Amino acid sequence: MHEQDLRTLWVLNRVEALGSFAAAGRELGLTRAAVSRLIAQSERRLGVRLAHRSTRQVQLTERARALVAASQSALATLGAAVAALGEDEGALRGPLRIGCSHALGRHVLMPALWPFLREHPGVRLDLQLSDGLEDLLAQRLDFTVRLGPLPDSSLVARPVGHVALLLVASPEVVARFPPPQTPADLRPWPAIALKPPSAPVRRPWRFAMAGGEIVMPLDEPAAEVNSPDAGLDMARAGLGLAMLPRYLVRDDVAAGRLQAVLPQHMVQGPAVHVCTTQRDLLPERVSRLLQALVPALRAALADA
């Protein structure tokens, strides 16, 4: 491979991730003209069109996007190997980019991170909280902590447990209805539905019964939210019944601000995985953090 083509691969990768030559150039310390010139030189040498150009915009060709997809894993491996050169076991330093959902990040991940960050002040945390699915390569994340199924089979996933769930409502809402004996008794109750940005439909309520699991779709909820934190606020305000992570509501339940409903019938919540794009050649700061973080997250979820 020609040295300049390797540089072009890095540039194409960032153009695809960031959406423009100008943005890729800013990140890589190159002018827009330099980016365009580098790609044009590779086009002439390879005899392949890599970008469609007009007076208003530049777009990667289908063959260029296929090249980016095929080379992303190898580029991530090279980047990790180079990053690891500057680290030694005694003094970790450098950026640490982590992705996680909002509620899990704030209430479970962040407390587990603090001991490591205090011990290694040279490590700079860049925590990206989002309830959508992160693209580790495009966002240049070192790892993510993900809830639920993993659609990307290329990820290296370390299971750390499941989220325990509770169905909760304010004492005022609970007092308005007869004590429920089965999930069917909840149909008259106002429901607060959760539909995360990455989910195509509202999450149904699931209950564990003697005859098997019961699924209750929320066809006409009193309210719909896209994050557990918003659902918690609505439940506290007396707007309805919400099925939420136990780590999020346990303090409110202990203080009497919320009451658990049918706690004996709760099913296991979504699985939690720590995901990387590769198993080996991780930067030392990432490898060392994962060694401490994975067991800490397992303990936190088991205790939640």
CATH 3.40.190.10 fits 94-159+271-303, yes or no: yes
Same fold for the domain at 94-159+271-303 and the one at 163-270?
Answer: yes
- Residue 163, pLDDT > 90, answer yes
- Residue 68, pLDDT > 70, answer yes
Average pLDDT over residues 53-70: 75
- Residue 161, pLDDT > 80, answer yes
- Residue 129, pLDDT > 70, answer yes
The pair phi, psi for residue 270, each rounded to 5°, is -65, 150
- Residue 152, pLDDT > 70, answer no
Report residue 264 as tokens.
């004996």
- Residue 269, pLDDT > 70, answer yes
- Residue 55, pLDDT > 60, answer no
pLDDT: which is higher, 275 or 59: 275
Q: Comparing 75-89, 138-152, 242-256, which segment has the lowest mean pLDDT?
A: 75-89
Topology (CATH) of 3-85: Arc Repressor Mutant, subunit A (1.10.10)
The pLDDT, as a whole number, for residue 296 is: 96
How far is the CA of 200 from the CAs of 80, 196, 197, 204, in angstroms? 34, 8, 8, 12
Q: Could you state, in order of their start, the residue ranges of all structural domains in the chain? A: 3-85, 94-159+271-303, 163-270
pLDDT tens digits, one per residue of 2-34:
666 677 787 888 777 777 777 777 877 778 788
- DSSP-assigned letters across all residues of the chain: --HHHHHHHHHHHHHHHHSSHHHHHHHHT--HHHHHHHHHHHHHHHT---EEE-SS-EEE-HHHHHHHHHHHHHHHHHHHHHHHHT-BTTB--EEEEEEE-HHHIIIIIHHHHHHHHHH-TTEEEEEEE-SS---TTTTT-SEEEEES----TTSEEEEEEEEEEEEEE-HHHHHTSPPPSSGGGGTTS-EEEE--TT-SSPPPEEEEETTEEEEE--SS-SEEESSHHHHHHHHHTTS-EEEEEHHHHHHHHHHTSSEESSGGGBPEEEEEEEEES-SSS--HHHHHHHHHHHHHHHHHHHH-
Topology (CATH) of 163-270: D-Maltodextrin-Binding Protein; domain 2 (3.40.190)
Asked if 35 and 240 touch (Cβ cutoff 8 Å), the reply is no
**CA nearest 177: which of 190, 192, 162, 164?**
190
The pLDDT, as a whole number, for residue 171 is: 98
Estimate the crossing angle of helix 246-255 against helix 228-236, to 10 degrees.
Answer: 20
Distance CA(282)–CA(284), nearest Å, equals 6
What pTM was computed for the model?
0.69
Average pLDDT over residues 123-139: 80
The pLDDT, as a whole number, for residue 98 is: 94
Mean pLDDT rounded to a whole number for the chain: 86
- Residue 135, pLDDT > 70, answer no
Asked if 140 and 280 touch (Cβ cutoff 8 Å), the reply is no
The pLDDT, as a whole number, for residue 185 is: 97
Strands 223-225 and 191-194: parallel
Q: How confident is the model at residue 243 (pLDDT cuts 50, 70, 90)?
A: very high
pLDDT tens digits, one per residue of 70-101:
777 676 666 666 555 555 555 788 999 999 99
Report residue 245 as tokens.
């992570």
The pLDDT, as a whole number, for residue 215 is: 96
